[in-house]
Structure 1
Amino acid sequence: MATFSVSQEGPVNALALNRDNNQVAIGGRNVFKVYSIEDDCFKEICNLRASKHLNLSFSCNDVAWSLIDDHYLATAATNGHVCVWNLTKSGKAMQEQDYQEHKRTVNKVNFHASEPNRLISGSQDGTMRYFDIRTKSAVAIFYSNTESVRDVQFSPHAPATFAAVSENGNVQIWDVRRHDKYQQQFTAHSGPVFACDWHPDTSWLATASRDKTIKVWDLGSSKTTLEYTIHTIASIGHIKWRPQRKYHIASCALVIDCSVNIWDVRRPYIPFAAFNEHKDIPSGVVWRGDPQIFLSTGRDCTLYQHAFRDATRPANKANPQGISLNNHGEIIFAYRIPINNTFSKQPGLIRLKSLSSIGDPLIANVKSSNTISNDQFHQASSAIHQFNIVTCQDQHSFYDLAKNYILTGRSFSEICEHNSSIAKEYGKNNVSIVWRIIKIMYGDEFYPSPANTPLTNNNDKCFLKIVGYPNDYVSEDQRSKGGDVSGSKYIGDETEVDRDLVDYVGGFNGFSVYNNFRFGLPKGDFSFGENELDNELDALSLDYRNSLQNSQQLGQQQQDWTLPNEAFNLRHEISDRSPPPENLQNHYSPDINDECLQPVQYDDQVPGLLTVSKTVEKCLWDPSNTVVDALKYHATMGDIQTAACVLIVLGDRRKHLKTLDDVTQEQWLLGYLDMLHRYQLWNVATQVIKISWLPSVNCLNQQSTRINTNCSQCAKPLQRTGWLCDRCHTSEHSLCSVCHQVVKGLYAWCQGCSHGGHLKHMQEWIAAKKVCPTGCGHQCEYR
C-alpha cells in the first residue's frame, strides 16, 4: 500500500469507514461524499451535496457509518439535526430520517456495534439522545447536567454501555436501559474533554482534552484507575486506537500541530510515529482494520490514505543530550552513549534509574532489540549525571583565610608553615595538611639549591668525607677504621665519588645545606646544627685544598707511604704450594675480577683515600603530578582559594608542574579574584594581581584606572586636569566646599553634584548633615 490523497471543495470535518473498510464517507460544511478505496487512489461513488434540495442538514459536523448495514449513514449537523441517509435511494429520498430534537449543535453521532437500527448522538445542549432509525423520534434522552457533550462512544465490550465526555472535564458511563442516572462519573481532565475512544481489546477508555494530555483509564475494575498519560504540544480533538497494537493510539490536534501522531502510551513525551502530509489541522482519523494503513482528513481540503512505512520517526531527531538547572544551582546533564544491543522485552524504551544519592552519576538502563522493525522506537541511549553545589568553606572562613594568608615576603617554608597554622586555626584541617605537604615537597630543607662554588677537578672526581650518619647507618667495618662513633654523628674516611654526583648535589665548597632530597634520604637521617655542619664542611674543604697543594709542590718527588710487610723478620722464606689460579676449576670470581670494583689509578690521586669509580643512581620521586592532582581536587570541590594560593606561593617552583597548563592556572586566579571582589577584599585582590605571573591577570590593574570628574560649576567633564575646567575656565573645583580653601591633600567629592573638599571636612559635614555644604540641595552620601 502507498500513500495517496484526493482534494475536496472545502474543509473536511469528519470521515467514516463502512463495515468492509473499502468505502469511506467524508463530510464538512460544503462536502458530503462517498468514495471507494482503490489500490492507489480514491474513486468517487456519490456526492450527496449535488442534490437540488440543499439545506443546513447537509452541513456535516460528524459522520458515522452503520457497522451492520452498509446502506445507512448518519450525520450530525450544526443546526441541531441528526440525519440518517439511505444510500440505496436517490435524490431527496436519500435523507430517510431527520431528527430535530437537539436545541444546539450536534457534536457526535455513533451507531451501535451490534444493533443496526440503534443510534446515539451528543449535543452542545448537554443531552444525549438514543434513536431507533425506524421511528420518527428518540426512544431515550440522557441528561448529562453539563454545559455540552463533545463525544459519545458505545463500548465494544458491553453492548448496553456508552461513554460520554463533557466540556467540564468529566467522563460519564451510561447504560442505555437506564436513562435517569449515569452508572459512573469521574473527573478526567482539568479542561474540556473533546474526544474519547474505547480500546478494542481491553477495558481501557482513552480521553483527550484541551489540557494537552491524552489519558488512558482502566474501567474494568470497581475503581477507575489512570493507567497512562500522554503529554502533547497542543489541545487534542480526535483520538483512535490502533488495531492489533495494544499500546498505540493516533491523535489529531485542534491547533498548532498539523501532524497525525501515533503514540505509544508507555513513552508519553515523544510520538512513536508522525505523518506530516497535511498542510493544515487534521480533523479526523480512522484505521482500515489494518495496523499499517489508516485514513485522515483535514482543514486543508484533502483526504489521505497513509502507509505506516512512510511515517517519520520523531525519536530519530530527538537529541539524547540535555541539561537542566534547578533553583538550588544543581545540574542534571544527559549525554549520548553507545547503544547496548542486548535483547529486551520492550525494545528501545529508555528506563532511567532513580537518583539514589546526591552527586552520584547514574547511567540510563537502555535495552534494544537485535532487529529493528517499524514497531520499535529509535535506538537511542543516554547517560545522566547529577552535579550538586559543594560548599567547601563558609563565608567567614574564606574571609578570614584571605585576610591572614601570607603569599609573599618570607621564605617558602615560613609561608607554608604560617598558612598551615592559619588554616588549622579556622578549622580547615585538610587545607592545613596540604600546606605542610607542599612545604615538605618543595621546602628549603629539601628543595635542590644551586652550587655556589663548584669543585674543579680535571679527572672528574672529588672526595667527600662520610659525615653525619647516625649509628644505625655505621657498619662495623667503618667503626674499625677509627673516628668518633659516639653520639649522633660519625666522621670517618673520605670517600671519592663521581663528579656528576657532586655537581648534582651542588658542589663541595658550596654545600652549605645538606640536601637530603638530592640523595633520596629521609629528613631525619642527619642531626647536625647549621653552625656545626658548616664548620665540619669548611674543615673538610681546607684539608682537601692543603693536601692538593702539597702534592703539587712535591712534583716528581716520590715519598714512601708504604708500611713493612711484616712486623718482624722472617726466619725462612714461605713457599706457596697452592696451584696457580688458572688451574682452579672455578678460577673466575666476580668479587675479585669485577671490573667495576677494581681501583682506578689517577695521576693526581691522593694516596690513602678510598676511591669509587661508579656510583649507583637513585631514582628521585617527582611530586609534581601529586601536587597538580591535589590542587585540581580542591578546585573541583569549590575550594578555589587553596588552589590559587598554593600556586602563588610556589613561585618559580611552578615550572615543575608541567601537567598544569596556563589556562587552568588563569581560571583559578580569576575565580579567586572574583570571590575576593565579592567579599570586598580589594587589597588582597590587588596583591594577587600584582604578584601574578600570568600577563592576562597581571594586567588587570591597568584597566579602568581613570576616574572622570565633572566641573562643579558647569557640570561638564574635566578633560585634562582635575582642577581646571576647559569649558568655563574655573578652578573652583579644587576648593573645599566647607572651608573654601585649596585642597592640597586628599580630595573627596560627591559623584552626584561634583562638589567636594578636604577628606576630613567632608567626613565631619556628612556625619552631621546630609545636604551638600555648597547649598545646591543635593543629598550627598559618604562611603
Structure 2
Amino acid sequence: MPRTMFITQDGPANALALNKDNTQVVIAGRNVFKVFNIEEEEFVETCNLRVGKNLNLNFSCNDVAWSTNEDHILATAATNGAVVVWNLNRVSRSKQERVFLDHKRTVNKVSFHTVESSWLISGSQDGTMKTFDLRIKEATRTFDSNTESVRDVQFSPHAHHTFAAVSENGNVQLWDLRRPDKCFHQFTAHSGPIFACDWHPEMAWLATASRDKTIKVWDLVNKSAPEFIINTIASVGRIKWRPQRKHHISSVALVVDCNVNVWDVRRPFIPFAAFSEHKDVATGIAWRGDPHIFLSTSRDGTLYHHVFKDATRPANKANPQGVAFNSKGDVAYACKTNFNSTRPTKSQGSTRRATNSSDEFVQSSSSMHWYNKKVNYETDWFLGCATRYMLSGRPLADLCDHNAAVAKEFGRITVSLVWSMIKALYTPRVGDFGHQTPLREEQGGGPGGGKDGEGDKAKTGDGQGAGSGGDDDGGEGDNEEGKRKSKRQLRIEDLKPGSDSLGDFFFGDGEMDPLSMDFERGNSVGLCVDIITHDWTLPVEAFPIRHEIQDSSPPPEQFPNSDSPEPSDVLNLECPAEQQLLTIEDQPSSLLSVNWIMKAPMWDPSVVVSSALHHHASGGDIQTCASILLALGEKRRNLSNVLDDATQEQWLLAYIDVLSRHKLWDVATQVIQLSWIPSVCQLNQQSTSVSTNCSRCTKALVRSGWLCDTCRSLDCAICSICHQVVKGLYVWCQGCAHGGHLSHIQEWLEENVECPSGCGHHCEYS
C-alpha cells in the first residue's frame, strides 16, 4: 500500500517532473538537481546532476521537464536564459548534452510535446516562445507574444499543432506551430499576471492561475467566457488537473498558503481536499497517473509523496450557519439541517459522502433561505432627499420649511422635526423678544399699541405721561378712576425681556397681546416700554388701592430724554430676584414708570444642535448632518466651540462619498462648492485631467493624441477598423486597449461582440 513519505534536501526546489512510467522523479532548483527512484517506503537517490568542475548558471533551474517518451531525456529552464537538455544515459559524470542560448532573458518554462518526443518549447522573460527539435542544434521557430514576459507554455493534448501561452499582462494566447507570425486566438483571462496554465486531459478545457487569487477554467470550443472560477486566499503559482477526475484540479500558492489544495471546480470557495505537510509554500505538483497519489516540492526543501486518504477535508470544518446582506436589502440565511440525499440539489449545493476516501462532496449540513426585500425604502428616501433638498439660495427659514416637508414626505418624521427645530432656533419671528423691528411701526399705534392712535393720548407735548404733572385736565384714566394715591410692590422676576434690544410691546387686554403676564394678585396689567428712554410705564388703575399713603414724598425723577440709571442705583443685585421689589409710589399722574429691569441671560442652542447632529451621525444618517451644516451658512460659526472642524470634515466627506456611490455627481458637486473646509472645497480642483498613453511605449501623449513624442510612433491612435490614424475623437477598450474612431467602433459593436482588432477580447461600449 502506498503511504505518505518525504525526503529533505539542502535547498528548496523550484519544480519537479515524473518520467513516463511514474517510477522516477527529478527535482530542480537553484542549488539542487537530483533524480530519485520512488520506492514503496522511501525515495532513493539515483543521480545528482549538479556535479562537475564547471558549475555555472546552466545548473540553476526555474523549471524541469521529463520527456514524454524517453526515460533518459530531461530539459531545464535556466535562470541565465539557456534551455539545457540532459541525457541520463551518458557515461560521463556530467549529463549535460546540449545548451540552447536563443533567449535573451530568464527562461520560465519548458515543456515537451505530448506525441513528438523530440519537440520542446520554452517561454521566457523576454516575451518570446521558442520551439526546439532535439535533433537540431538551434531553435526551429520563434513566437513573439508582444508582452513583457511569458510565464507558462503548454502543448495541447487535443490538437497536435496547438499550444497555449500565458503572460504577465493577464492574456492567454493560442498558437499554431505552423504560423509563428501571429496567434490565432487571444483573450484577457485575469486582471493580474498569469503564472500557470494546464490543459485538461479529457476535455477541451484550459485552466489558468493568476495573482488575482483565482483559478479559471475556459471552454475553448463553445465559448470564451470562463466555465468555472475558483477563488483562493492567495496568488496561485502552479496548477495541475487530477487524472481520472473531470472536475478536480490541484493548486499551490505563491505566498501565505503552505497547503496543497485539490479543488472541485463546481464548488469554488472551499477546497475539496487539503494537504498541509509542507512548512513553506509549495513550488511544484506532479500526479503519478493515479488519482490518489501525487508528489510535491516546497521552499522548505522537502519532497513529499502524498496519499489521498491522508488529506483533510476543509468543508468538514466549515460553519454550517451564517447570514449575509446584499446592497438591495435582501437577507440570505443558512441554517444547519440533516438530510440523506446522495446527489446535489439546487438548494443544498452539495452531496453526502459515504466515507472519507470518497470523491463525492462532503456532507452538506446547511440549507439556504433567501428573504427578498421588495422595495428598498432606505435608498428611496436617501436619493429623494439628496436630489430635492435645498441647501442655499434662500433664507434659512425657507430652507428649513422646504427640507422639513421633503423629509416628512419620505417618512423621515424625526429628520423633519430637526429641520423645524433649526428654524425655531436660528430664525427670528415677529413678536418674539429678540426681534429688532418695533411692533409700534407694524401696528400703526402709539406706545400702548392700541387702535386709532389711542396710545398717542398717553403722551403729552413735553414727552411726559398724561396727568403726570398733576394738571386738572389729566389723562383719561384719571377721569375714570379718579385721583388716588397708593403704593404697590411689583416682583422683578415677573418682567423678563428676551434680548438686549427691546421693542414696544403691550401686555394686557389691548388689541395686540403677543404675551400675557400675570402678576402676584392675578390681575393683568398694561405695560408700555419706551424704546428710546427705556422707561417702563404702568397705568395706576391697573392696581387696586390697598390703603391711603400717609407720607406724600415727591415723585421720582423721570428720565424722558436720557439713558436709564445704572442698576446699582435701583437694585441690590446681591439679593435674590424674588426678594428684589420695586416700591412704586402713586404720582399725581395715572402712569407708573419703571426705569430698569433685570435682563435674562441669552441661551446658546449650539450644544443642543451639536448633540442632535451627533445622534444622527451615530445612526448612520450622515445626510442630515451634512445638509444642516450646509444650510446654516454663516450661523454655523457658533457650533465651532462644541463641534470641531475634523468632525464636520468627516461628515462632509462621508456624504460626498455616498453621493458618488449613487452617481449623484451634481449633488456631490454642490456639496463641495458650498463647503467651507479647504480640504473639501478643493476636491473639484484635483484630478481634473486625464492623459492618454501611447499603445506602443505606454508613455503619456503630450502634444497630440495621435503622435507619440517619445517613440515617434503614429500607431498610438490607429483605428482597428479602417487602420487610419485617428486625429479626432478616439475611443478604446479598457480590457484590451484596442480602439478607433468613435463612429466606427459604435457601428462594429452593434453587430459584433469580439474586438475588431482580432485579439479575441469581448469589448463593451458604454
* Bigger RCO (CA 8 Å, 6+ sep): 2
* Structure number with larger C-alpha Rg: 1
Q: Please give the TM-score of this superposition, normalised by the length of structure 1.
A: 0.49
